[in-house]
Structure 1
Amino acid sequence: MAEKDSDKNQEWNNWFPIPSTVTDIELVELEKEIGHKLPESYKQFLKHKHFYDLYIGECSFCAHPINTWRAKIMEMIFDGYPAEDLIETGRIPFASWSDWGLLCFDTTTECLNNNYQIVLWDHEVYDEFEFQYVDFENMLVELAREHEEQRE
Structure 2
Amino acid sequence: MEEIINKYLNEIVSLEINSKPGDVETEMLDNSADNNKEWKNWIPIQSTVTDLELSELEKEIGHRLPDSYKKFLKIKHFYELYIAECSFCSHPINTWRAKLMEMIFDGYPSEDLIETGRIPFASWSDWGLLCFDTTAKCENNNYPIVLWDHEVYDQFEFQYSNFENMLEELAIEHEEQKEE
TM-score between the two structures when normalised by the length of structure 1 = 0.97
Local SS of the residue matching 2:170? helix
Aligned twin of 1:114? 141
Over aligned residue pairs, what C-alpha RMSD do you find?
Answer: 0.8
Q: Give the whole-Å Cα distance in 1 for the aligned partners of 2:97 and 2:149.
A: 24
1:64-123 deviations in whole A, cap 9, x for unaligned? 000011011111000111010000000000000011010000001111100000000000
Dislocated runs of 4+, deviation >3 Å: none
Runs of 5+ unmatched residues, structure 2: 1-27
Q: Could you tell me whether the CA contact under 8 Å between 2:104 and 2:121 is conserved in 1? A: yes
Runs of 5+ unmatched residues, structure 1: none
Determine if the alignment matches structure 1 residue 78 to structure 2 residue 143: no
Determine if the alignment matches structure 1 residue 11 to structure 2 residue 27: no
Please, which of 70, 76, 81 is the counterpart of residue 54 of structure 1?
81
Structure number with the higher helix fraction is 2
Determine if the alignment matches structure 1 residue 25 to structure 2 residue 25: no
Determine if the alignment matches structure 1 residue 146 to structure 2 residue 177: no
TM-score between the two structures when normalised by the length of structure 2 = 0.82
Identity of aligned residues (%): 80
Q: Could you tell me whether the CA contact under 8 Å between 2:35 and 2:41 is conserved in 1? A: no
Report how many aligned residue pairs link the two structures.
152
